[in-house]
Amino acid sequence: MFVPHTEGQKKEMLRTIGVRSFDDLLEGLPKDLIRPPLDLPGSMSEMELVRHMEELAKRDHLAQSYLGAGAYEHFVPTSVWALALRGEFSTAYTPYQAEASQGTLQSIFEFQSMVCNLFEMEAANASLYDGASAAAEACLMAAKHTGRSEVLVPDTVHPQTRQVIETYLKHSGVRLNVLPCRGGVLEPSTVKKVLGAGTAALLVQNPNFFGCLEIHVHELSKLVHEAGALLIASSYPVALGMIVPPGEYGADIAVAEGQPLGLPLGYGGPYVGLFACKMDLIRKTPGRIVGQTVDQEGKRAFVLTLQAREQHIRREKATSNICTNQALCALASTIHMSLLGKEGLRRLADLNFQKAHYLAGELEKRGFPRTFDRPFFNEFAVKCPVPPDRIEELLAREGVLAGLPLGRYFPALKDSLLICVTEIKTRGDMDAFVGLLENVCR
């Protein structure tokens, strides 16, 4: 498929090459292994493929979902992907030849600028794979920068993020110390107990995995810095339209799962890891960075820069093994951020907050009290009179995903269901959801 040569042309090309048959070009390959039989089907036409894929997609159609837990269902304006999937963006490579890649480079520069402004941080890179690997890279960077060997991560950080950090840190000589938290937030006293001269960094997620705001971030930041360690803050980008950005409480490195900014849920990916830091850390940053410069005629232009950090130059001494960023996802996010604008983000955050607080209030009235009495943004845990696994199963029959049964990650919270509400839910949706929950718990 997609081969333009006619049989006649192929013969002529072989003649130009100077071989009699195609197989003469395979002389170096082990003859006994060439062209193995393959137990695979033949090709489909585009028409057949479309029908096949639509059938597969339809199979899991659901009406509504209240699942959040690290991946959020926000409305994505049509323009976002209409622009991002233009072939000029999607079928270009990493912008090595800057003169022929200014579109990609300028959009990344805009992305870096918007990420800095979102976090109130000084510098940002061109993105990493996802929020989890961004957090892991931040831990490694903090350890290298401080020369220390322990990273503190409270269990209010997403369990799957913690798993990725564990994988990345396992052989790096950096120890991961998971801090158990009670009451839904990280208490300064918990950190004080373990903070010391060996602590490279503390990672906080705000709002955290339970949806609670980490109410002590300012104090935690002070504690960590007094001990000479770094603060790594993980955020939910939409929440930053309302809650304090990491730069304001002194985070040295800010990371986030960028999916809520224009990327579909898509069963987990591709997403985009946002990564920003203080300017004095920039030369230790993993991944691509775009900078502004001029061309030989003095015209403003953009280029990949600070490449002395990277694997293609530094090989085993690079700051990370990462090559690509998630350029197309970063582009979609950039477009989404432009469409929202300054006021749009604030209003979007407010809508999320309003709807979630309405649902939490209604549930409370019907006998589903919140598990943690803490300030929250658009996600919260409620205690259920019936095992949440059972609720999930029963509501799925009605075409509704009820949320995440927390017992899957925290056995002590086996009665709790983590519920997320975004701007896409109407009051009617939520009233119906409360009715369904009441029904199955009766």
Partner 1 sequence: MPITGDRKIVEELIFEQSVSGRAGIPLPSSDVPRTEPETSIPSALRRRAPADWPEVSEPQVIRHYTRLSQLNYCIDTHFYPLGSCTMKHNPKVNDRMAMLPDFSALHPLRPHELSQGVLEILYEVERWLRELCGMDAFTLQPSAGAQGELTGILVARAYHESRGEKRTKVLIPDSAHGTNPASAATAGLEAVTVRSRPDGQVDLDDLRAKLGSDTALFMMTIPGTLGVFEPQVREIVDLVHRAGALMYMDGANLNALIGLLRPGDLGVDVLHVNVHKTFSTPHGGGGPGAGPVGVKKALEPFLPVPRVVKEGHVYRRNLDYPSSIGKVHGFQGNVGILIRTYCYMRLQGAEGFREMSENAILAANYLRAKLAPLFPKMPKGPFMHEVVVSGEGAFANGVRTLDAAKRLLDYGFYAPTVYFPSIVHEAMMIEPTENESRETLDDFAAAMAAIVEESLTTPEKVKTAPHTTPVRRLDEVKAAREPILRYRRD
| Residues within window 184-203 making contact with partner 1, judged by CB under 8 A | none
Contact pattern from residue 1 through residue 40 relative to partner 1, giving x for each residue in contact according to CB under 8 A and a dash for the rest? xxxxx---xx-xxx-xxxx--x-xxxxxxx--xxxx-xxx
- Interacting residue with partner 1 among 7, 20, 147, 173 (CB under 8 A): 173
> 16-35: buried (b, 16+ CB within 10 Å) or exposed (e) per residue?
eeeeeeeeeeeeeeeeeeee
Site membership for partner 1, residue 92 (CB under 8 A): yes
Site membership for partner 1, residue 394 (CB under 8 A): no
- Interacting residue with partner 1 among 7, 20, 21, 87 (CB under 8 A): 87
Nearest approach, Cβ of 415 to partner 1 (angstroms)?
Answer: 19
Q: How many residues of this chain bind partner 1 (CB under 8 A)?
A: 202
Site membership for partner 1, residue 70 (CB under 8 A): yes
Site membership for partner 1, residue 275 (CB under 8 A): no
**Amino acid identity, residue 284?**
K
Q: Which is nearer to partner 1, 110 or 191 (CB)?
A: 110
Q: Is the dihedral of CA 28, 32, 35, 36 positive or negative?
A: negative
Site membership for partner 1, residue 153 (CB under 8 A): no
Q: What is the DSSP-derived secondary structure letter of residue 212? A: B
Q: Which is nearer to partner 1, 78 or 197 (CB)?
A: 78
By CB atoms closer than 10 A (0-12, 13-18, 19+), residue 91 is exposed
Structural Rg of the chain based on CA atoms:
25
Q: Which is nearer to partner 1, 404 or 440 (CB)?
A: 404
Site membership for partner 1, residue 149 (CB under 8 A): no
In this structure, the dihedral spanned by the alpha carbons of residues 78, 83, 85 and 87, taken in order and rounded to 10 degrees, is 150
155, 234, 185: which is closest to 373 by C-alpha?
Answer: 185
Angle value at C-alpha 378, between 376 and 384, nearest 5 degrees:
80
Q: Residue 41: which residues within 8 A CB-CB, separation 6 or more?
A: none
Nearest approach, Cβ of 149 to partner 1 (angstroms)?
Answer: 13
- Interacting residue with partner 1 among 151, 191, 200, 290 (CB under 8 A): 290
47, two tokens: 């028409």
Stretch that binds partner 1, among 183-191, 220-228, 307-315, 432-440 (CB under 8 A): 307-315
At 382 the three-state DSSP class reads: strand
Residue 288 to residue 302: CA distance in whole angstroms:
13
- Interacting residue with partner 1 among 144, 278, 284, 357 (CB under 8 A): 357
Q: Residue 235: which residues within 8 A CB-CB, separation 6 or more?
A: 119, 205, 206, 245, 246, 254, 255, 256
Nearest approach, Cβ of 411 to partner 1 (angstroms)?
Answer: 15
Nearest approach, Cβ of 259 to partner 1 (angstroms)?
Answer: 9
CB 118 within 8 A of CB 334: no
Site membership for partner 1, residue 213 (CB under 8 A): yes
Contact pattern from residue 232 through residue 261 relative to partner 1, giving x for each residue in contact according to CB under 8 A and a dash for the rest? --------xxxxxx--x--------x----
